[in-house]
Structure 1
Amino acid sequence: MYGFKCIAKSQVCNMIEDCPDGSDESNCDDCILTQCSPDVCIPDHWSLNCSTANSLKMNETNEVTNLRNLVFSQYAEYQIVDLRSTLLSDFIKEKFFNNITVTGKVLADYKLCCSYFRGEKLPAHQCEAEEETLSTCEDLIGDSLKRVLLWIVALCAVFGNMTALGYRILFERATLHLTYVLFVTCLGVSDLLMGVYLVIIASVDVVYRGVYIVHKMSWKQSTLCQIAGTLATLSSETSTLFILFITLERFLTIRFPFGEHKISSLGKYVLISVALCFGLLLSVAPILFRDMSLYSNNGMCLGFPLRKSSGTAWIYSVTVFLFFNSILFVVIAIGQFLIFITISQQSSKFKSESQASARRADNITVALKLSVVVLSNFICWFPVCVLAIRTVFSDYEVTLETYAWIIVLVLPFNSALNPVLYTLPRISKSWTDFKRRQSTRVSKS
């Protein structure tokens, strides 16, 4: 009874005054509603004893620290304990369920079903939780093979891109004014950021080896996890944009070899600024709007939507990673198709006119090499986008094993492969030319 009439529990603290005196909306900051009994409201600094209840279900109104205030009587016995909608924190005590008897099931977060928190009294088969994507109770990266591959991809991405950038700055600085060279260099910086992200994740796995579940919540909510997620998003979005710009620049260069239409000197810097600003905006937005918590959804600090969910974070993830990226890749695919059509037409023209412009041949060679980079990125990302689309618009569900391989190997793979594709051949050619010059000097002397 509230005031002069009875109201349902759902009408209490719902930001609407249903009682004449407004008492149903008073003291809401200090009040927790629980389904332990039909209508129970307790201050959050009190303890709740549910020893007389047959089942316990904590609802979604509970805050992060509420569960530690839940005191089980050692004589309490339950058929079902449902804690799936309760947010957890690192304040949960070891052997959390040792004081109660559960005859049926405990439905909980994966963390509570680990032996460290479950205790000896509750058997593992009585605790049900949704499996983690990559993590186990002991480790952030539970599979040894995935752990090794993650380190390989991370180190290749970091050292490969650092080598590529260093080579261009030290030995090919004179070509940095060229539009496509500048775009490729920016792509290398983007891929380097992905390598840094992978090193952070792999290092955290080492730090928390064997005790990850104890630190799971603090890691996912940490500043470092937010930074890692920001780097991954910034890298993936700017990389996609620079690949689009490379495709555009090569098409204009091949289609109009005499420069009738091209990206101007000012235009290339405007495009680079747009890519960086847009990438920063998309990657930082989940941190600025706390209700998203996009990077705190999993231990990898990623927000890619390969598992169906709901809420603001999931909608944002679908919009950015799925719809926006899919549109970009469709445009890239069209651009690559037009490049190959143009090359075919010009090759036929060369044969019919018995002429081969060195400049055009050069442009075509560069376009074909860069097309390999573009197509490799497209081949990696396109299947992932297709899986995400199926997940969003149908009942299809990506298996946890597939999801794990996509996160560890598929998504970051191009960050390690790109420098090999667009820089290693140039380094090899430069080394061959250097050896040829050396041998020529020796023969002349």
Structure 2
Amino acid sequence: MIIIASADVYYGDYFYLFAEQWRGSVTCKVAGFIAVLSSETSVFVLAIITIDRVLSVVFPFGKLKFRATSARVGVALIWTIAVVVSIVPLIVSSYISGFYGLSDVCVGLPLNVESTETGELVYNYERRVWEYLKYETTKRPSWVYSIAIFLGVNFLIFILILLSYVVIFVHVRKSARSVANPASGSGSSDRAREVKLATRMSIIVLTDFFCWMPVIIMGILSQTGAVTLPVSLYAWSIVFILPINASINPYLYTFIAICGGSKTRSTSSPTQKTRFSTAVSETRA
């Protein structure tokens, strides 16, 4: 955001004269790389957090659990994948040409369709003007790589997240009586803590979900030809919609840390300290 804002201040009212130069600049590519890296890392982390919550709440006695070591490995793997996804357009620029220069904000969100026209410039003797005669107009999805990432990978991940939390809350609803029963022992107490942690983590997941889903839905509608989105929507998406999640996440993580910290000091549980969600929260905070 700082890079984009700085470019806006630098070019000012004459940006239209330097638009092509800006889109092909190293600065624009760096801004796009950082934007895609941060957004994809956030999406991948939320997916792993959701899987951890499903394993802890729905399958509390299962053997497959995230521990401290696996949490570190998972975070390292997530960052590696996100870096690869972000750097591929720069390495294979001959195949993915100008990915980060497809918009003035340096993020190739698939919110419109590229139009390719075939025609000829001819001179009209009656009107004494040059006219462009259009023979054929073909449309193909612009930025296939962008569509694959934002409308493919991200959409599938958020559907997985949505279904996972539906499963979690349905399961919690069914087992609410056993969790609330004081005679059920320490196992029930641990289960209650897992449910509360899942509820808190769902707040973070849902904020990211509601920030990205409008972009995904608009992209699908645009690529299918259902609607034609205005160019100004790019600026609104980058400046207003997507940064909301990054802006409120620190407060959400602080809220979760405060709520969880007070309970951890009163009753410490060894299993609670090895959860992937806790490790990720500490890593991203």
TM-score range for the pair, normalised by the shorter chain length: 0.7 to 0.9
**Cross-structure match for 2:190:** 359
Q: 1:247 aligns with which of 34, 50, 61?
A: 50
**Cross-structure match for 1:215:** 18
Q: Which amino acid aligns with 2:48?
A: F
- Kindly name which structure, 1 or 2, has the bigger radius of gyration based on alpha carbons: 1
TM-score, structure 1 length as denominator? 0.49
Give the 3-state SS of the residue equivalent to 2:13 in structure 1: coil
Q: 2:213 aligns with which of 364, 376, 382?
A: 382
Q: Deviations over 1:239-276 (max 9, x none)?
A: 11100001011111122335633124443233223311
Q: Is the 8 A contact 2:4 2:105 kept in 1?
A: yes
CA 1:350–1:366: 2 relative to 1, 3 Å: closer
Q: Deviations over 1:115-141 (max 9, x none)?
A: xxxxxxxxxxxxxxxxxxxxxxxxxxx
Alignment pair present for 1:334 and 2:191: no
Question: 1:353, CA displacement in angstroms?
Answer: 7.1
Larger RCO (alpha carbons 8 Å, 6+ apart):
2
Q: 2:151 aligns with which of 292, 302, 322?
A: 322
Q: Deviations over 1:303-338 (max 9, x none)?
A: 010011267961111111111111111111111111
Q: Is the 8 A contact 1:226 1:295 kept in 2?
A: yes
CA 1:242–1:364: 2 relative to 1, 3 Å: same
Give the 5 Å matches for 1:95-244.
198-244=1-47
TM-score, structure 2 length as denominator? 0.74
**Cross-structure match for 2:277:** none
**Cross-structure match for 1:294:** 99
CA 1:247–1:425: 2 relative to 1, 3 Å: closer
Q: 2:78 aligns with which of 275, 280, 286?
A: 275
Query: Which structure 1 residue ranges, 5 or more long, are not aligned?
Result: 1-197, 432-445
Q: 2:251 aligns with which of 416, 420, 433?
A: 420
- If each structure's helix is expressed as a fraction of its own residues, which one has the higher value? 2
CA RMSD of aligned residues (A): 2.7
**Cross-structure match for 2:64:** 261
Give the 3-state SS of the residue equivalent to 2:175 in structure 1: helix
CA 1:254–1:308: 2 relative to 1, 3 Å: same
Question: 1:352, CA displacement in angstroms?
Answer: 5.9
**Cross-structure match for 1:348:** 177
Question: 1:295, CA displacement in angstroms?
Answer: 0.8
Q: Deviations over 1:354-380 (max 9, x none)?
A: 546322222211111110110111122
Q: Deviations over 1:372-401 (max 9, x none)?
A: 110111122112211111111224212334
**Cross-structure match for 1:97:** none
Between the aligned partners of 2:141 and 2:150, the Cα distance in structure 1 is 14
Give the 3-state SS of the residue equivalent to 2:203 in structure 1: helix
Range with bigger deviation, 341-350 or 413-422: 341-350
CA 1:311–1:235: 2 relative to 1, 3 Å: farther
Between the aligned partners of 1:280 and 1:384, the Cα distance in structure 2 is 22
Between the aligned partners of 2:92 and 2:141, the Cα distance in structure 1 is 10
Question: 1:290, CA displacement in angstroms?
Answer: 2.2
Q: Is the 8 A contact 2:141 2:223 kept in 1?
A: no
Between the aligned partners of 1:316 and 1:330, the Cα distance in structure 2 is 20
Between the aligned partners of 2:259 and 2:216, the Cα distance in structure 1 is 35
Between the aligned partners of 1:362 and 1:344, the Cα distance in structure 2 is 15
Between the aligned partners of 1:256 and 1:430, the Cα distance in structure 2 is 25
Give the 5 Å matches for 1:1-150.
none
Q: Which amino acid aligns with 1:315?
A: V
Alignment pair present for 1:304 and 2:109: yes
Instruction: Work out the percentage of aligned pairs sharing the same amino acid.
Output: 31
